[in-house]
Structure 1
Amino acid sequence: MATRKGKLLGSIVGCVVIFVLLSTAYYLYFYSRDYHSQSSRAVSSVLTAQSSKVFEPVLPNVPVVLPRDFAFHNEFQHEWWHYFANVTDQHGEEYGVQWSYFRVAHSDNDFTGWLSPQIYASHIVISNGRQVWREQRISRGGIGQAGMSNAPFRIWIDNWYWRSLGKTPFPGQLTASSDSFDLSLTTTVKGPYVLPGERGYREKHDLLPVASYNLTAPFLRVKGELKLGDSKLIQVEGSAWMSKEWGSGLMTEQQQGWDWFVLHLDDETTLSLSRYRHEAQLPYIFGTLATNDGKVIDIAPDEISLIPLQSTFISSTKKVPLHWTINIPRYDISLTTKVLNSSLWLPFVIPYWEGPISATGSHNAKGFIQLTGY
């Protein structure tokens, strides 16, 4: 009798596991198919609040607190880490390195294991002026394939991980391997953290209650090595930027996408600009200027002129504005941007264009640009 019960229990457990696996595959398949078909709807479908779900709202007067808020916030629907690095090898060749890590909850339940509602996606992109190396990983939460620990700090998915020895990400090491590349980068802080907006609370719309919590580490030094294809190890070093954003509904249903610029104006000053595009409404623009002595300046929309100069066809049907002018007269900023490599449309779960840029004019700057919804 005990043997029969054991076999029955084993069959039930097996069926549950198979059902969850198939459900996850079905969910991810249709998630990806929708994203690859129409990128503007794809971004919106992931980052728009779901009225049938109950997640924590993003509220003003709730400041971001460090190091506490380096941890995951599973009570919110979305969480998004970004790391950009502009590095140079011993021969002076420039490379861009991008690491993104997403957490998206498709349900507001708190189940664990195979029933966890958390979906994780991460991608790494390495580029120079001629080539692009990229890969994406996707995982269901709750089974150990992806996740985070706080003491010490560690974020991982498969054999990709960011880790440090303390409760903050820095000094930290990003390590990743794939069939086409390997990288190992050590990143240290050379300036203060920045909490944009109102102590980390950042509005994304001038009429609707759309906002997120944010923190950035804009003053970073990076050093390490890359292995690209069959090449020898390439020693690189340069500057980097890390940001984290979380909330519930990071976009409105009428939002088309956004344009995000990150620039190291010099060794002491960084600039971040965002332009949120909406249907039947002028774009909502905002920015943050930060210095490594702790000064943080919020730049008002009417102080910023952010104009696309030229759009580039990256396929027979897709056109993306890769060249821009940036003017902020109050702070003596006048720049024209240029991309290092135009072939950086990323056809991932969340599809967008993202890559390293340089800028000339009032400053000789380097950084990154992210363009979604095109």
Structure 2
Amino acid sequence: MKVRVSLKYLIGFLILAALVSIASIVFRDFKFEDEAEPNRELSSLLSVDTKHAFSPVLPNNPVVLPDDSSFHPQYQHEWFHYFANVRDKKGHLYTVQWSYFRIAHDQRVDELGWLNSQVYFSSVVISNDRKVWREQRIARGGIGQAGVSALPLRMWIDDWTWRSLGRNPFPGHLDVKTDTFSLSLYSDLDGPYVLPGEQGFQRKHETEPTATYNLQAPFLKVYGQMKLTKETDPIAVEGTAFMSKEWGSGLMSSKQQGWDKFVLKLDDDTTLSVNRYRHEEELPYMFGTLSSKEKNIVLNSKDIVILPLNKTVIEGGRVLPLEWRIMVPRYNIDLKTAPVNKQSWLPFIVPYWEGAINTTGSDLAHGYMQLTGY
């Protein structure tokens, strides 16, 4: 029998587990997707809560830095996502993914102790073309186990932290230690921040009022080190990264099935980010940005063509479209994507596929792909 997981159930479970253990709650390879329908699970976690008056996402309210670098407790959801492509001194390639997510169950976001309504979860993933190292942590707000501070910007859950020198995320330091692997990465801007959509206001549906506020850092330089096992020496790495931050009251519309996201570094000065939001009995809604260090071009559904090419059966029998064709005809972009490691399904509390991709066609690009709701 399949179980539909609601946010109330999640919070109740977390409270019970925390009271029993009085310790960090660490989910390793948690198999939520075996117990719940992914579309229903995504919808229950990321749809707007109509019972509580969280702040709406409205146009003509531009994102402003550095004020909007910190988190926004008046909104229901917030998501900080970081993806890096790095190389060690021997030329071996790795990708690093780090996400930090906040959900407010009701408006008691400033309460201390167990009355606080905030739930945080964070995940870290290291991968190459053969293996994936991953872990997720979940915590309640109000008890010091997880949270965000603004001056300077700091995000933490247990001993996983992102620290910056000021109110903006960069320059920033990501420090993560698990029982099996760890990483320490420093990131700094190598180009401007980008505000997608209408000065950071991004519509997610053609007719429904689903939207979020967004900011991106598509040009980042990264250096640091990783330890893939307790016994091995640290590996020095360097490369590039992409950061996105999104917040609002409802990240998904009522009939949304999921989304497909692609971020591709076309060259040292140009990054393409495109999104395909899938809805029941409707055409996908697409949007994106074509960003250079000189200017940012906003793309809409009329500018973009995103087509799945082949479906792949991965471990566990899940079927996913891992190869795609992406076209932006107005700018002579025509790409075919291929995953670096097909076995990059992440069985986290919000389960999704995410990993590195390369392209052929008009550009020999590299970047990442995120597929949710499958």
Q: TM-score, normalised by structure 2?
A: 0.91
Distance 2:13 2:286 in 1: 45
Partner of 1:278: 279
Distance 2:348 2:258 in 1: 16
Partner of 2:3: none
Distance 1:99 1:19 in 2: 24
Q: What count of residue pairs does the alignment treat as equivalent?
A: 354
If each structure's helix is expressed as a fraction of its own residues, which one has the higher value? 1
* One-letter amino acid of the structure 1 residue matched with residue 328 of structure 2: I
Q: 1:309 aligned to 2:309?
A: yes
**Superposed displacement of residue 113, structure 1:** 2.1
Distance 1:258 1:107 in 2: 26
Higher mean C-alpha displacement, 109-118 vs 179-188: 109-118
Distance 1:63 1:281 in 2: 29
State the percentage of identical aligned residues: 55
Q: 1:68 aligned to 2:62?
A: no
Partner of 1:131: 131
Higher mean C-alpha displacement, 32-41 vs 164-173: 32-41
**Superposed displacement of residue 252, structure 1:** 1.4
Distance 2:293 2:128 in 1: 28
Distance 2:196 2:316 in 1: 38
| Aligned ranges 1:197-346 → 2 under 5 Å | 197-229=197-229, 230-293=231-294, 295-346=295-346
Q: Deviations over 1:138-163 (max 9, x none)?
A: 00001111111111111111111010
| Aligned ranges 1:342-361 → 2 under 5 Å | 342-361=342-361
Q: For residue 176 of structure 1, give the secondary structure of its aligned residue in structure 2.
A: strand
Q: Deviations over 1:19-75 (max 9, x none)?
A: 99328779x99x985885211211111110121121110000011010000111111
Distance 1:19 1:342, change over 3 A: closer
Distance 1:274 1:36, change over 3 A: farther
Distance 1:19 1:283 in 2: 35
* One-letter amino acid of the structure 1 residue matched with residue 37 of structure 2: Q
**Superposed displacement of residue 318, structure 1:** 1.5
Q: For residue 40 of structure 1, give the secondary structure of its aligned residue in structure 2.
A: helix
Q: TM-score, normalised by structure 1?
A: 0.91
**Superposed displacement of residue 300, structure 1:** 2.2
User: Which 4+ residue blocks in structure 1 deviate beyond 3 angstroms?
Assistant: 18-21, 23-26, 31-36
Unaligned runs of 5+ in 2: 1-11
Distance 1:219 1:38 in 2: 36
Distance 1:78 1:345 in 2: 23
Distance 1:24 1:54, change over 3 A: farther
Checking the alignment, whether the CA contact within 8 Å between 1:35 and 1:350 is kept in structure 2 is no
Bigger radius of gyration: 1
Distance 2:371 2:96 in 1: 16
Checking the alignment, whether the CA contact within 8 Å between 1:35 and 1:351 is kept in structure 2 is no
Partner of 1:22: 16
**Superposed displacement of residue 316, structure 1:** 4.5
Partner of 2:7: none
Q: Deviations over 1:210-268 (max 9, x none)?
A: 00000000000001111101332111111100010000011112110000001111000
